[in-house]
Homo-oligomer: A and B are copies of this chain.
Amino acid sequence: MKSESCCNIRLSRCSILTLLTVFTLNADARSQEIVLSPETEECLACHAELHPGLVASWEKSRHSRTTPGLAMQKSRLERRISSTQIDSKLIDVTVGCYECHSLNTDRHRDAFTHNGYIINVIVGSSDCSVCHAVEADQYSNNIMAHAHSNLVDNSLYRQLIETVNNPHTFEKEHLAIGKSDTLTDNESCLYCHGTRIQVRGRVTRETDFGALEFPVLEGWPNQGVGRINPDGSLGACTSCHPRHDFSIETARKPYTCSECHKGPDVPAYKVYVVSKHGNIFESKSTEYDFDSVPWTVGEDFTAPTCAACHASLLVSGDDNVIVERTHQFNDRLAWRLFGVPYAHPHPVSADLEEVKNSAGIPIATELDGEPVAEFVITEQEQKLRNERLQRICLTCHSSEWTGNHFIRLDNTIQKTNEMTYEGTRILMEIWNNGFARGLSQGENLFDEEIERVWTSLWLFHTNSTRFASAMTGGGDYGVFANGRYQATEQLYRLLDWLKTQKTIYGGSTPMRREDGN
């Protein structure tokens, strides 16, 4: 560490000329090991002045202080780079601007000619895979990589999106739902799921360096996990490894995950911080080493973070591997806790396009919660994944402790699914009586007040309860904080509404609903 930190020079304090010299000198001082490519030097010559924060952040990165060649010399456990064949042009230069922004330009619809070079605005996951091939490959099997299409190409989810994001107009006892707009979708659901970035022509802008032409990008900015990049690749590695320092420390800290996992639908971060794990992390993490590879249990950290359980390569003090690194995060997860509306064994494929149940609805369970066997992993595979995860638990906990925890989780998955089922039965009676119009009428399931009561039951409350159970704590997220208290309240609310409607209409199909609303 110490020998590396000395190269953390301050580009932005230098005039352009000095800047280049300093880099050269610095590289000299380190036996020519760290060399900027001439192209990157040229990038920095302008951009250090234009975007001093961006460049300073990169200077603090490991990318600025090593080369792929040096990174490949580390031992297997210590390596932070997984590709075994790297282009000779890249191997002995620092990972600078040009090295990342000039890859695979033929596939990049966002490539443009910029001061004589062909540059991609956006670095896609396939560009990162040049050095991080194994991680990119694993990530492609991660459900997150498909988060865009899994959402917007699912007809059921689209119904929900439309009722949430689209304009509503009050028209005579009716709320008419207007057309969606891309700007809203891109900053709401797709903020996390990832936008589809499209190139919409070229524009010329006046800059400090004269008029320059740039591609026009729709869906940009975005760092959603399933972003569809202009080169066709899926996923923004920057979701968790934010630019331009790409810090492993950041990725390993739970704050990163909170960006998308704090809402009432997936309150994983909230549960974590009130769990014993989170509590110890918060009080002790300034003493942890978040940069060490491999990551040693007990020594580098005493309480796990999200990354420790779901992603990182963990070893014990004697460099015995506890779990291998994975970027397919469900590798250690038997269940998809997040239920729409039911939790179920993890899907087999990360791409959910084919998934549908016997009623033709694009979800992996029947209406009563039974998983559709074809689309979910087997019990055997569930067992295997649980065992992987439990190897981590066992570094601190007894097998009884660990085993009992998972028995509770299984019970909670079953009980919360049953709660969702009872709520669904009440809503079915409401629909069947025509008090609201949804599944029975072939209409939107989410555009009436009572349908939203049902939606919140599973989207927020049973989901929250399962996360609280799974993550060894977060008692209140399973009770009073969007947990069982609220879940049962939604059941009472559904029933109360049904009864009121029956009283008013005497059980017959209400006239007022025949207008199609």
Measured CB to CB, the residues of A under 8 A from B are 10-15, 49-57, 59-60, 121, 163-165, 167-170, 173-175, 181, 183-184, 186-189, 191-192, 205, 207, 214, 216-217, 220-221, 223, 242, 245, 247, 249-250, 253, 255-256, 258-260, 262-265, 273-276, 278-280, 282-284, 286, 296-299, 302, 316-318, 394-401, 404-405, 407-408, 411-412, 415, 418-419, 422, 425-426, 429, 447-450, 452, 459-460, 468-469, 472-473, 475-476, 478-481, 483-485, 488-489, 491-493, 495-496, 498-500, 502-504, 510, 512
Contact = CB atoms under 8 A, between A and B. Distances in A.
Contacts of A10: 299, 317
A27 to B, nearest CB: 20
Contacts of A398: 51, 121
Contacts of A473: 191, 259
A469 B279 contact: no
A276 B259 contact: yes
A365 B166 CA distance: 24
A430 to B, nearest CB: 11
Contact of A170 (B52, B181, B273, B426): B426
Contacts of A207: 399
Interface of A is mostly: helix
Please tell me how many copies of the chain the complex holds: 3
A434 to B, nearest CB: 13
User: Which 3 A/B pairs are nearest by Cβ-Cβ distance?
Assistant: A56-B298, A12-B317, A191-B475
A192 B279 CA distance: 14
A503 B504 contact: yes
A49 to B, nearest CB: 8
Nearest to A250: B283
B448 A496 contact: yes
